[in-house]
């Protein structure tokens, strides 16, 4: 069992529409508010060698990435820190605050308590015009499929590439690009936190369509040799780029560095170069009595 199986349990209680996207959507006059929360743990989410500053930055960044995936502008973030050692709080808070400031958001407060391991829970709020919010459910056959950012860089950093270490520990949420895509006609969007392959399957299922992808078009982590580069790009988690669909005539968008990797088709599932693409990537798993995590790439 993994976290996607548990989302189905939540959907049975509150409805599938409320669990279909990276953020909850709350109508607010002519706008909508988007609300999201993330939980990061020392043993499963923070690689050895990270500083507390980088842990705080990452906690804010992963939440701002969810806000960006809806085409929204971030407004505020609150951070709850479960600390094994109280002296870690300053570095974590400074990192989170700097990330928020960088992307036009305010760290508005939070909570602190004692915990056996460092655990950070970040909750973010964004806003967007009601006719500009982008969900996962709007892709239609004929749309092109694009990505913002190279894929697999974080996994390369985890596996020892010094050139990609910062991509792993200080991810850069695509806030400006998400808003530009929403304004420019994107029909569906999500962030690529769990890996490209798994994200493609999630988006295809949410929209009730099929997706065809060409591997030569997928942006690979620079400086990584094959076959690792393609494996990282498809199945490595932690990049926090954006996956989107839009009508062909809407691309390219000025100021958005993106590439087209495929197209939306009728049907279901995802095919890579004509063959079924496995739905593998980053996931939290529960096997027997073990409450665990498979790591940034389940590949």
Give the residue numbers spanning the domain of 111.
22-129
Closest CA to 132 of 185, 64, 189: 185
75 and 185 Cβ atoms separated by less than 8 Å: no
Whether 292 is covered by a domain: the verdict is no
| Buried b or exposed e, range 163-201, using 16+ CB within 10 angstroms | ebbebbbbbbbbbebbbbbbebbbbbbbbbbbbbbbbbb
Tell me, yes or no, whether 108 and 197 share the same domain. no
What tens digit of pLDDT does each residue of 62-108 get? 999 999 999 999 999 999 999 999 999 999 999 999 999 999 999 99
Whether 6 is covered by a domain: the verdict is no
Tell me, yes or no, whether 149 and 122 share the same domain. no
| Domain boundary pick from 70, 100, 129 | 129
Number of domains observed in the structure of the chain: 2
What tens digit of pLDDT does each residue of 9-61 get? 887 888 888 878 889 999 999 999 999 999 999 998 999 999 999 999 999 99
Phi, psi for 82 (deg, rounded to 5): -95, 115
CATH number at residue 70: 3.30.1330.10
Tell me, yes or no, whether 61 and 193 share the same domain. no
Tell me, yes or no, whether 58 and 112 share the same domain. yes
What tens digit of pLDDT does each residue of 121-170 get? 999 999 999 999 999 999 999 999 999 999 999 999 999 999 999 999 99
**Token couple for 41:** 């743990």
Question: Which of 57-61, 178-182, 252-256, 289-293 is least confident?
Answer: 289-293
CA distance 57 to 61: 6
Give 38's strand partners: 122
Alpha helices in the chain (DSSP H): 3-14, 42-45, 52-69, 89-102, 153-158, 165-169, 175-184, 196-207, 228-235
| Domain boundary pick from 129, 153, 170 | 129
| Domain boundary pick from 99, 129, 159 | 129
Residue 226 gets which letter from DSSP? Answer: T
CA dihedral 255, 150, 298, 296 (to 10 degrees): -80
- Say whether pLDDT at 290 is over 70: no
Tell me, yes or no, whether 148 and 115 share the same domain. no
**Token couple for 67:** 């806000």
Tell me, yes or no, whether 106 and 164 share the same domain. no
234 and 218 Cβ atoms separated by less than 8 Å: yes
Q: Distance from CA of residue 144 to its chain's centroid?
A: 20
Count, in order, helices (H) and strands (E) of the chain: 9, 14
pLDDT value at position 239? 94
What tens digit of pLDDT does each residue of 251-276 get? 999 889 999 999 999 999 999 999 99
Whether 15 is covered by a domain: the verdict is no
pLDDT value at position 254? 86
């Amino acid at each position: 069992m993994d976290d996607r199986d548990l989302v189905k349990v939540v959907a049975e209680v509150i409805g599938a529409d409320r669990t279909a996207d990276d953020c909850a959507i709350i109508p607010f006059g002519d706008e909508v508010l988007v609300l999201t929360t993330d939980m990061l743990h020392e043993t499963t989410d923070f690689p050895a060698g990270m500083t507390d500053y980088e842990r705080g930055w990452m906690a804010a960044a992963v939440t701002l990435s969810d806000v960006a995936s809806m085409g929204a502008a971030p407004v505020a973030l609150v951070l709850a820190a479960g600390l094994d050692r109280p002296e870690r709080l300053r570095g974590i808070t400074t990192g989170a605050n700097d990330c928020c400031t960088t992307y036009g958001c305010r760290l508005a407060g939070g909570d602190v308590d004692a915990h056996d391991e460092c655990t950070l829970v970040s909750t973010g709020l964004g806003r967007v015009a009601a006719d500009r919010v982008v969900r996962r459910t709007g892709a239609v056959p004929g749309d092109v499929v694009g990505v913002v950012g190279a894929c697999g860089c974080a996994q390369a950093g985890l596996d020892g590439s010094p050139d990609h270490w910062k991509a792993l520990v200080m991810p850069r949420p695509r806030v400006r690009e998400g808003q530009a895509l929403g304004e420019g006609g994107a029909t569906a969007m999500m962030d690529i936190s769990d890996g490209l392959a798994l994200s493609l399957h999630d988006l295809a299922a949410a929209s009730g369509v099929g997706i065809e992808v060409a591997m030569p078009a997928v942006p690979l982590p620079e400086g990584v040799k094959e076959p690792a580069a393609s494996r990282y790009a498809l199945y490595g988690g932690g990049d926090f780029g954006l996956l989107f669909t839009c009508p062909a005539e809407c691309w390219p968008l000025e100021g958005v560095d993106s590439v087209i990797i495929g197209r939306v088709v009728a049907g279901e599932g995802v095919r890579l170069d004509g063959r079924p693409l496995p739905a593998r990537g980053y996931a939290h798993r529960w096997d027997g009595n073990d409450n665990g995590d498979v790591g940034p790439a389940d590949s």
